[in-house]
Amino acid sequence: MTKDRVLIFDTTLRDGEQSPGATMTHAEKLEIAELLDEMGVDIIEAGFPIASEGDFKAVSEIARLAKTSTICGLARANYKDIDRCWEAVKHAKSPRIHTFIGTSPLHRAIPNLNMDEMAERIHDTVTHARNLCDNVQWSPMDATRTEWDYLCRVVEIAIKAGATTINIPDTVGYTAPVESAELIRNLIATVPGADEVIFATHCHNDLGMATANSLAAVEGGARQIECTINGLGERAGNTALEEVVMALKVRGDIMPYETGIDTTKIMNISRRVAAVSGFAVQFNKAIVGKNAFAHESGIHQDGMLKNAETFEIMRPADVGLSGTSLPLGKHSGRAALRAKLNELGFDDLADNQLKDVFVRFKDLADRKKEVFDDDLLALMHQNSGDEDRLKLKSLRVVCGTEGPQTADMVMEIDGTDVKTSATGDGPVDATFNAVKALFPHGARLQLYQVQAVTEGTDAQATVSVRMEEEGRIATGQSADTDTVVASAKAYINALNRLLVRREQSEPGYDVKGVSYKDR
Residues 423-435: tens digit of each pLDDT: 999 999 999 999 9
State the Cα angle at 166 between 163 and 172, rounded to 5°.
135
Segment (H or E) for 407: strand 405-413
Give residue-wise pLDDT tens across range 307-346.
455 546 888 889 988 655 567 887 888 888 888 888 777 7
CA distance 208 to 213: 10
Model-level pTM? Answer: 0.81
DSSP strand pairing (390-398 vs 405-413): antiparallel
The set of long-range contacts for 477-481, using a CB threshold of 8 Å and a minimum separation of 24, is 477/275, 477/278, 478/382, 478/383, 479/378, 479/379, 479/382, 479/453, 481/364, 481/367, 481/368
Q: How confident is the model at residue 103 (pLDDT cuts 50, 70, 90)?
A: very high
Asked if pLDDT for residue 122 goes beyond 70, the answer is yes
Q: How confident is the model at residue 502 (pLDDT cuts 50, 70, 90)?
A: confident
Q: How many CB atoms lie within 10 A of CB 499?
A: 22
Q: Taking all residues of the chain, what is their mean pLDDT, rounded to a whole number?
A: 88
Residue 15, marked binder: yes
Q: What percent of the chain has pLDDT over 90?
A: 62
Q: Are 140 and 184 in contact (CB under 8 A)?
A: no
Q: Are 52 and 504 in contact (CB under 8 A)?
A: yes
Residue 510, marked binder: no
Would you state the pLDDT for residue 479? 87
Question: What number is the average pLDDT over the span 61-68?
Answer: 98
Top-level class of domain 4-277 = alpha beta
CA distance 70 to 64: 11
Q: Are 180 and 152 in contact (CB under 8 A)?
A: no
Give 291: exposed, middle or buried? Use CB within 10 Å, 0-12, 13-18, 19+.
exposed
CATH 3.20.20.70, the chain: domain bounds: 4-277
CATH of 390-513, one of 3.40.50.2000, 3.40.50.620, 3.30.160.270, 3.30.360.10: 3.30.160.270
Question: What number is the average pLDDT over the span 99-114?
Answer: 94
Beta strands in 206-259 (DSSP E): 224-227, 257-258
Asked if pLDDT for residue 420 goes beyond 90, the answer is yes
With a CB cutoff of 8 Å and minimum separation 6, the contacts of 519 are: 418, 419, 420, 421, 437, 438
Give 387: exposed, middle or buried? Use CB within 10 Å, 0-12, 13-18, 19+.
exposed
CA distance 130 to 329: 58
Tell me which of 171-180, 378-387, 496-505 is least confident: 378-387
CA distance 201 to 170: 8
Would you state the pLDDT for residue 302? 42
Integer distance in angstroms from the first to the last C-alpha of the chain? 73
Would you state the pLDDT for residue 356? 82
CATH 3.30.160.270, the chain: domain bounds: 390-513
